[in-house]
Structures are given as C-alpha cells and as structure tokens.
Amino acid sequence: MLAMGTEGGKNGYVGLILVSHSASIAQGVAELVAQVAGEEVPIVAIGGAPDGSLGTDGGKVLEALREAATGHGAVVLMDLGSSVLAVRAAQGELSPTELERVVVADAPLVEGALAAGVVASTGASAHEVATAAQEARVANKL
C-alpha cells in the first residue's frame, strides 16, 4: 500500500482510495493523479493479493476505508471483479457514520481517478468528487 500526501484526508482534502488487481496499476494511477491534480490530495493505492500476486487484499481495503472515514473522507475507485467485491464487502463492515465519509464511485479507474483528483484538489466534498469521477463514464476522448 502506497500512501501519497497525508493519510485519510486529514490535511483538509478528500482523499482517493484506488483499488486494483495490480499493485503497479494502483501505484501508477496514483502517480498520474498526483502529477495532474497536485500532491495535496491524499491517495492510497491498494493493489495485488496478500502474497503479491494479482488479486485483491480485502483486509487492506477495509483498513484504508476505515482510516479514510476518520479524516475528511475519501472516494473509492476500483478496477473490476474482485476489487469491486472487496470494496463492497468492506462497506458492509463500516458504520453508517463511516459510510457517509467514504463514497464509492462507479467509474473507470484511470479516467475517474484523474477527474476525482482534480476536483478533490479544489477542496470539494466527497460527493462532488465522486460525481466528477462518474462523469468519466461519458467523457469523449476523440
């Protein structure tokens, strides 16, 4: 797990939690977002199974969501399959108060994280950040 900036949105900005099957993907997206959005947005990148192979570590996902819920909150983006299942399972473990601060975005990981990061860097709320991420579903590239 790679933490960029301060943890869990404690510096006043909503953070991003990126969940991928691959540690390299999660970390690479985090680096891209930091470069475009700036270093002030806290990003936690979670990728790979506990043994380092491709997969998802549900424990790390839950830990990251819990941590984010204690700060200014976070928006969660994930790639697909077991990443989505792990995030949903972790949501099931959170209290209603924690769930208000951790918003899961139904969005493409790379484009959604970029949009979310830029909006988060303006000091927007978790819901505004998640909405920006979800706009990535319809944004044209050409």
Chain residues that interact with another protein, rule: CB under 8 A:
32, 35-38, 111, 114-115, 118-119, 121-122, 132, 135-136, 139-142
* CB of 49 vs another protein, minimal distance in Å: 30
With respect to another protein, which residue has the nearer C-beta, 34 or 44? 34
User: CB of residue 131 vs another protein: minimum separation in angstroms?
Assistant: 11
Shortest Cβ 137–another protein spacing (Å): 10
The 10 Å CB-count burial string (b at 16+, else e) for 78-112 is: bbeebbeebbeebbeebeeebeebbbbbebbbbbb
Judged by beta carbon, residue 38 or residue 55, the one nearer another protein is 38
